[in-house]
Amino acid sequence: MTNYNRLHKPSGGMISGTSSPITVGDIRDAIHDLPDDTEVYFGSAPNGDEQIFYRFKMRGEKLIGFEFQDPG
């Protein structure tokens, strides 16, 4: 099995388990060298269902929300 995390060389550092806000700059650093057709996976919900992306929504001048479909 290929470990794709080991193949990807982000331009910035890896962010994991932080209590600090994640910025657009952090995300750009992490995905900087990835091809445009790279798929994004958001993991699973607490009940085990895959989280399905719904939309981005601006919540303030410098705040964007990533919303997911309600599994119910």
Q: Within its chain, how far is the Cα of 60 from the centroid? A: 19
Per the structure block, which two tokens stand in for 41?
A: 């996976």
Nearest one of 26, 32, 27 to 10, comparing CA atoms:
32
pLDDT digits (tens, 9 = 90+) for 8-67: 555 555 666 667 788 888 888 888 888 899 888 888 888 888 888 899 999 999 999 989
Supply the pTM of this predicted model. Answer: 0.59
**Extents of the domains making up the chain:** 45-72
CB neighbours of 64 closer than 8 A, spacing ≥ 6? 24, 56, 57, 58
Positions of E strands within the chain: 53-60, 63-68
